[in-house]
Every structure is written in C-alpha cells, then in structure tokens.
Amino acid sequence: MKLTKAFALAVSIVIAPAVSAAPASDVSNESALKQKLTDTLGVNVSLIQSSPVDGLYQVLTDRGVLYVTKDGTKLFHGNLYDMEQGMKNLTEAALAGPRLEMLKPFEKDMLVYKAKDEKHVITVFTDVDCGYCRKLHNQMQGYNDLGITVRYLAYPRAGVPSANADEMQAVWCAKDPLKAMTEAKNGGNVKAASCDVDITKQYQLGQSFGINGTPALVLENGTMVPGYQSPADLLRTIESNL
C-alpha cells in the first residue's frame, strides 16, 4: 500500500534521502525496518535512530519524521513535544540539521541580498506574485540594515510547470537577477530567458520541507518559520532561536 494523500498532506516537514551529518545508527534491525517501511509506505528511509521515547525509533524519511516501535509493528507520525522543556518541538529539532545540509547544494543558485554588516543569514522560499512576498521584498533594506542577509530560493505557488514558474525562471536567468526580482515583485514583466538554473529542483526542495505557502523562512540554525515577519520582528525571532 502506497503512502496515502492524506498522510502526505499531514506530514508538515520533509527531509531528503541523504543526510551527510547523520549520526551512526544504533538499531540492530535497521535493514529489516527500512525495507518494511519502504514496502508498506513507499517512502525512502535515510536514518533510523533512537527517539526520546523509550520503545520507539525515530525514522527520517523523504516524507517526514515517523516514529515506529522497535518490533516494527506500530507506527505514528506527528510532532513530538517535551513538556519538561516548555513544549519544545523535538521533531522540529530533529529536522533542523538535515535542512541545513539540504540547502548547501543550492547556495550557488540563491539570489542573495547581502547585509553590509552581516550578523544573520536567512533563506526565503519566495514567489514573485504573493502579496506578503512582495511586502518582505519591499522592506529588504530594513532587513539588511539590521544585519540580516536574505537569500532567495524559488517556490512558484502555481507549481511546475506553470506560467508562474516560467516567470521565476526568467528572473533567475536574467542578466541582473536581483534587479529582475524587484521588477517582477513590482508587477513588471521580466523578459523570458533560459539558463542552467533549475527552478523545478528549488520548488521540489521547498516541497520536501513541507512548504505550502510563501514566504517561508529558514533560519541559520535550520528552524523553519512560515509567513512574513517585519524586520524588527524577524530579528527578535532569530535572536530567540540562537
């Protein structure tokens, strides 16, 4: 039985099949569990390790974090919270490192608005048409003035292929992509162009993070923050996650 659509939609954050910094597994029946999960759910398993709950393994897959009993007979998905640590989201914490690893191959294709006195770096999955993406972009100087460098990756909300995706491809392939982004977010038409930048892969990466709206922000520690935040609010969010 393949993973159902409802299950896929319920999983809010997804990681890639390969995590270079993954710790060594301490699971004696790892191979058998991986095979069972793949055969039953149609997922790719990157890592199985002990979870914060006795008797459960934490499984990192290309469809999110799953928790499975050690005998492989019971499974659940969802966020795990620590009530003794102010309701810390342990599932989110498990994904922060993998997100950073997944972003690294895309750094060369990011559109970077660099702060002169850089203190923090965020990565924003953006769309040229969404209102809050435009609001964020129009305040770029405010973020930069606070020492926040903003790096863009494309997340065309209309999906790929679409006219929306074509427009974002034109921005990334423009002679001056930063200027083209501003033009596009001001409602202008950017001349179509082609290059070796793959918007589809950027979009798929966003999907793998569970993004379903823009802007979506990834902080420098790997925490994901959905939605627009003003420069001052974002600085407070970043500092509270240090």
Q: Tell me the catalytic residues.
A: 127, 130, 133, 157
Q: 190 to each of 71, 139, 163, how far by Cα in Å?
A: 56, 21, 12
Supply the angle between the helices 199-208 and 163-173 in degrees, to the nearest 10: 110
Cα–Cα dist 157/163, whole Å:
11
76 burial level (CB within 10 Å; 0-12, 13-18, 19+): exposed
CB atoms within 10 A of CB 131: 10
Strands 64-69 and 88-89: unpaired
- The alpha carbon torsion through 219, 186, 105, 113 (nearest 10 deg) reads -60
Separation between Cα atoms, residue 132 and residue 129, nearest integer Å? 9
Q: Please, are residues 21 and 97 in contact by the beta-carbon 8 Å criterion?
A: yes
Token pair of 220 as six digits? 């420098």
